[in-house]
Structure 1
Amino acid sequence: MKPPLRWSAAAGITLALIATGPVNANPAPTTTDPDSIASSVALTKSNRMVASDETINEVIEYWTPERMNNAVPLEVEGAPTATRQAPQPDGPPTIVSSPVPPSTTHNRNNAINTRSIAVGILYFVSHGEDSWCSASTVSSAKGRLISTAGHCLHPGGDKNAPWHSNVVFVPAFDSGKEPYGKWAIVHKWSFRGWTENGKYTHNIGFAETAAAGDGTTVVDRVGAHGLYVNAPVQKTTLVGYNGGLWGDDDPNQYTCEDGSPIHSVGTIAIACAAVMISAGGPYLINFDAGSTWGWLTGVARSTNLTGTAYGTYFDTKVRGLYDDAEEASDG
């Protein structure tokens, strides 16, 4: 497994690959409402719309075991220094959707080393590189949505930059095994605050997965975590895949728990010293280890090597992004 790629987002310029050390993003001002929504249909690497059985299969078949093994975890810098304080909600605590179990019969032993079968790896092509992040299904009426970091769908900081291509979600990936298959992404959403200005407070994304040939959705297959915006401080669990810095041949699923997470404006951070968990994984509350379901309250955007995992806190604007994605998705 290669070490992660680290990108610095800045508005109006092409993203640059950073070879050494973290670089804090310093986005330029923008006149665009950062809470407004940007979206794109998904494309193959050859710029074909992912909308037919042919293109869906093209995306799925692209990700051979060799390509997945050689893909690079993608991290973006820009996490502020967080101080311990109360969350900064911009509205009342609201449960938007509740966790749901799978509706199809499955064998839990298919993925015996995963804490949550709803969490998996999102593979994609970014600037010509085969890359990956963590991601999670999120409960919705149509059963097709996943949640991840915005930079796992779009480079950020440049409205003219292309969205990532050949995107697939592999839930419960486990040491090279794909117990619940690959699910091609057909549509992507984030905030213009991320896509145009690279604001870390808007580094959030949702994506729509294609249904299987028999109409089964990814949530039918693996269930989904619920969505909670403006959540109060409480015990929080981060679930995701290690960033490949610890000698593993394959990324594996890990968790970090913190009974008193750190909050600052737009940020949630928890102690996570044992392993580097890649961006895109869910921050969960009321996470029941027996049933493996909880409520998403944020999404990981980076993990720093001093032992603190930084994420973007889900406030009221995230409900608008979720609602837009759910309304526009098929079902």
Structure 2
Amino acid sequence: MTPCLPLIAVSALVTGLVGVPQPWVVTMSAVSGPPAPGRPAPAHPTPGPAASGPGSAVPAVPVGPVGPASDVVEHVATTALDSYWTPERMARAIPIDVLSTIKQVGMAAARILPSTASPAPSRSPEAAPAGARPVRQARQARRPGASLAVTSGSKWAAGGAVTRTTGRVFLTMDGVDFVCSASAVRSANKDVVVTAGHCVKDGAGSWAENWTFVPGYRAGQRPYGAYTARRMFVAGPWARGGNDDYDMGMVAVTTANGRHLGDAVGGQEIGFNARRGLRTYGFGFPADPPYNGEHLLYCAGVVHADPQGQTRDQGLRCDLTAGASGGPWLSGFDPATGRGRLTSVSSFKYSNDHRTMYGPYFGAAARDLFQSAQRA
């Protein structure tokens, strides 16, 4: 059995469980059916298309107290040991999307998932399970700064701040090592990382352990160090029931080599209540075939409402695969500088539409999370 077969076996089992594509959400953290009757509406209403302006950025200065209506769930993290994330363990970590597979197949997963002693799984295109829908290979932009405005998946070659602020997250959930994507943002404490909620907490389940952010990751390198979690924040609706409208997480990290994250790499601006339908760039480190998680990739286009009406999220044409979860969505993005305003993160795809990535709308709930995280 080749090193990649355990993942193939897991994927095959999930295919048997899920069956033909259905018009319900397959999140990057859980396989779920249609919303249950009487599903409660999100606690924070989402502004409609009439909202104006590109969104309100939050300056890197202290903000007022979180109001009584805020619904933030906090967790004090156990600092990951520097010795835990060895290059070999990082290479073996799998996209957190497979977490749903573990839950679906139960004990069978324990027999087929790679152990910590296994060699690194292959991520080549040939490793895709038989019958799986092929994912198009990434397309390289012709030249930096040109033809970057629309793509469903390309390597980012234009440089700029986004190459420093975007990174990979390595974490352990229920004893299995996983990978996600994330971004550093400007904050009062210079320590805030924004990612998907399922990259921090498994809905109503476990909190992540050994959570570590590596900004500027490239081919196994840690050019700016590694920053471990000290406090984690998710929205209440996510923590209580995995509500996809709130699949967002923010983490206050420790210093590395005596430096705050913001001092080492800077940070993207974060915005809330942005006008819907903006041109957006989504970044991440997809790790399932045909990608291997070693390079920063991106999608770009105009976001749109969820046509299936299951969420208040917005969709972006995007072929990026598992591992891109939690990667930043930047509106008002300038390819020349690599800076924009973070208004969402990669969250899920529908089982019958593998070419569209969805991300939660950053409104009042995201603002409350950020206020809590930048004061931590």
Q: Which residue of 1 aligns with 2:243?
A: 199
Measured in 1, the distance between the counterparts of 2:9 and 2:372 equals 30
1:292 pairs with 338, 342, 352, which one?
Answer: 338
Q: Which residue of 2 aligns with 1:67?
A: 89
TM-score of the aligned structures, taking structure 2 as reference length: 0.64
Spell out the pairing of 1:201-220 with structure 2 (5 A cutoff). Answer: 201-214=245-258, 216-220=259-263
Flag the structure with higher strand content.
1
Deviations 1:269-291 (A, max 9, x none): 11113666621011101212222
8 Å contact from structure 2 (residues 95, 179) kept in 1: yes
CA RMSD of aligned residues (A): 3.1
Q: Give the aligned residue type for 1:268.
A: Q
Structure 2: 5+ residue stretches without partners: 19-25, 45-69, 101-157
1:24 pairs with 22, 28, 32, which one?
Answer: 32
What is the identity percentage for the equivalent residue pairs of Structure 1 and Structure 2? 27
TM-score of the aligned structures, taking structure 1 as reference length: 0.72
Measured in 1, the distance between the counterparts of 2:291 and 2:327 equals 20
Deviations 1:227-269 (A, max 9, x none): 1111112210001111322153x432101000x2112452011
**Number of residue pairs aligned between Structure 1 and Structure 2:** 266
2:285 pairs with 241, 264, 277, which one?
Answer: 241
Q: Is the partner of 1:166 in helix, strand or coil?
A: strand
Q: Which residue of 1 aligns with 2:120?
A: none
Answer with 1 or 2: which has the greater Rg.
2
Spell out the pairing of 1:78-117 with structure 2 (5 A cutoff). Answer: 116-117=163-164
8 Å contact from structure 1 (residues 241, 251) kept in 2: yes
Is 2:168 the counterpart of 1:124?
A: no
8 Å contact from structure 1 (residues 190, 206) kept in 2: yes
Deviation at 1:113, TM superposition (A): 10
Q: Give the aligned residue type for 1:62.
A: Y
Change (3 A) 1:180 1:4: farther
Q: Give the aligned residue type for 2:304.
A: I
Spell out the pairing of 1:10-49 with structure 2 (5 A cutoff). Answer: 19-20=14-15, 21=18, 22=26, 23-25=31-33, 36-43=71-78
Measured in 2, the distance between the counterparts of 1:235 and 1:182 equals 31
Measured in 1, the distance between the counterparts of 2:269 and 2:8 equals 29
Measured in 2, the distance between the counterparts of 1:324 and 1:117 equals 24
Q: Which residue of 2 aligns with 1:141?
A: 188
Q: Which residue of 2 aligns with 1:96?
A: none
Measured in 2, the distance between the counterparts of 1:205 and 1:320 equals 11
Spell out the pairing of 1:247-326 with structure 2 (5 A cutoff). Answer: 248=292, 250-258=293-301, 260-264=302-306, 265-273=311-319, 278-303=324-349, 306-326=354-374
